[in-house]
């Protein structure tokens, strides 16, 4: 009996400590440890069997769109045997200059005699500029006169050309004299000029597209003589030049629109 009590006293603290450990609430740290181990074990089991597909978010796509594309800057002298990039550049600049000239002469709030110079008249002798067959003068701030005395037979054709010029002009005929009243500067007139500016810009882009297409067609003829990498670089250079010119066209249109609308 005495021996039994002595053994119980020795075992009792160990038993109580073990019982307390089993009944004590699980700590947060232990939970995290167990959870982490379970997650690690779950991932190691699932990863080999299930392929993960990652999709780009809208934010990531937007970030990608905003990235600056690598620009090409070829030395024109190194590829002149294949194509003259200088000539292509000059042709594209010419398109830009034509639009600028067109804006200055035809797309103005105040119509001037010089605005009629460029108008093309279809005659029996072919297409002629209005200032070649008529004398254009400003009688008053509200009236332009076109004297067709030297070519009276072209008067009807000149009237039609002025009316179809897109400048919102309504000419009147008095014998060999064409009277062209200048439209009042109204909101409607300003919006009409903006529309005309957009039409002229679109025509310029069409001309630019032809320049680019002609250059690309010329480049294709050299594909058998030059490496594909070189051809791709030149194509990218030409496209880059065209894109830069389009941006310049749009910039001039924006400036002109702001000027017309006030």
Average pLDDT per consecutive 10 residues, the chain (262 residues; last block may be shorter): 47 47 43 43 39 42 55 74 90 95 80 81 92 92 92 94 86 94 85 91 97 92 84 92 96 94 81
Coil vs helix vs strand at 194: helix
Residue with tokens 């045997």: 81
Q: Residue 18 CB: number of other CB atoms within 10 A?
A: 10
Do domains 76-107+186-261 and 113-181 share one topology? The answer is no
Q: What pLDDT shows up at residue 230? A: 87
Q: What pLDDT shows up at residue 112? A: 73
Question: Domain map of the chain by residue range?
Answer: 76-107+186-261, 113-181
Q: What pLDDT shows up at residue 68? A: 58
Please give the C-alpha separations between residue 78 and each of 73, 86, 92, 203, 229, in angstroms, as whole numbers.
11, 12, 20, 33, 14
CATH of domain 76-107+186-261: 1.10.132.20
Inter-residue contact 103 to 196 (CB < 8 Å)? no
Q: Is 233 exposed, middle or buried (0-12, 13-18, 19+ CB in 10 A)?
A: middle
Short-list 207, 233, 17, 197, CA closest to 95: 207
* Strand-pair partners of 136: 146
CATH architecture of 113-181: 2-Layer Sandwich (3.30)
Tell me the CA end-to-end span of the chain in Å, nearest whole number.
115
Q: What pLDDT shows up at residue 253? A: 96
In the sheet that holds 177-181, the strands lie side by side as 135-140, 143-147, 177-181, 172-174
Measured CA to CA, the distance from residue 144 to residue 142 in angstroms comes to 7
**Stated pTM of the model:** 0.59
Q: What pLDDT shows up at residue 51? A: 39
Q: What pLDDT shows up at residue 58? A: 46
Short-list 161, 148, 152, CA closest to 122: 161
């Amino acid at each position: 009996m005495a021996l039994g009590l002595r053994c119980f006293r020795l075992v009792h603290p160990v038993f109580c400590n073990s019982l307390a450990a089993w009944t004590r609430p699980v700590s947060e740290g232990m939970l995290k440890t167990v959870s982490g181990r379970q997650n690690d074990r779950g991932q190691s089991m699932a990863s080999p069997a299930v392929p993960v597909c990652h999709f780009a978010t809208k934010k990531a796509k937007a970030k990608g769109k905003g990235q600056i594309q690598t620009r090409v800057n070829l030395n024109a002298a190194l590829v002149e045997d294949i194509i003259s990039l200088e000539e292509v550049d000059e042709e594209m600049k010419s398109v830009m200059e034509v639009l600028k000239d067109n804006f200055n002469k035809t797309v103005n709030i105040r119509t001037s005699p010089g605005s009629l110079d460029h108008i093309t008249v279809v005659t029996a002798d072919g297409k002629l500029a209005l200032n070649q067959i008529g004398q254009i003068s400003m009688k008053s701030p509200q009236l332009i006169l076109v004297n067709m005395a030297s070519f009276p037979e072209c008067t009807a054709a000149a009237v039609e050309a002025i009316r179809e010029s897109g400048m919102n002009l309504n000419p009147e005929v008095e014998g060999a004299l064409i009277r062209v009243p200048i439209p009042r500067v109204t909101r409607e007139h300003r919006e009409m000029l903006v529309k005309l500016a957009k039409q002229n810009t679109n025509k310029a882009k069409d001309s630019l597209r032809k320049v680019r297409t002609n250059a690309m067609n010329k480049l294709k003829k050299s594909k058998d003589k030059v490496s594909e990498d070189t051809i791709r670089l030149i194509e990218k250079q030409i496209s880059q030049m065209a894109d830069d010119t389009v941006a310049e066209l749009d910039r001039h249109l924006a400036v002109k629109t702001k000027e017309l609308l006030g």
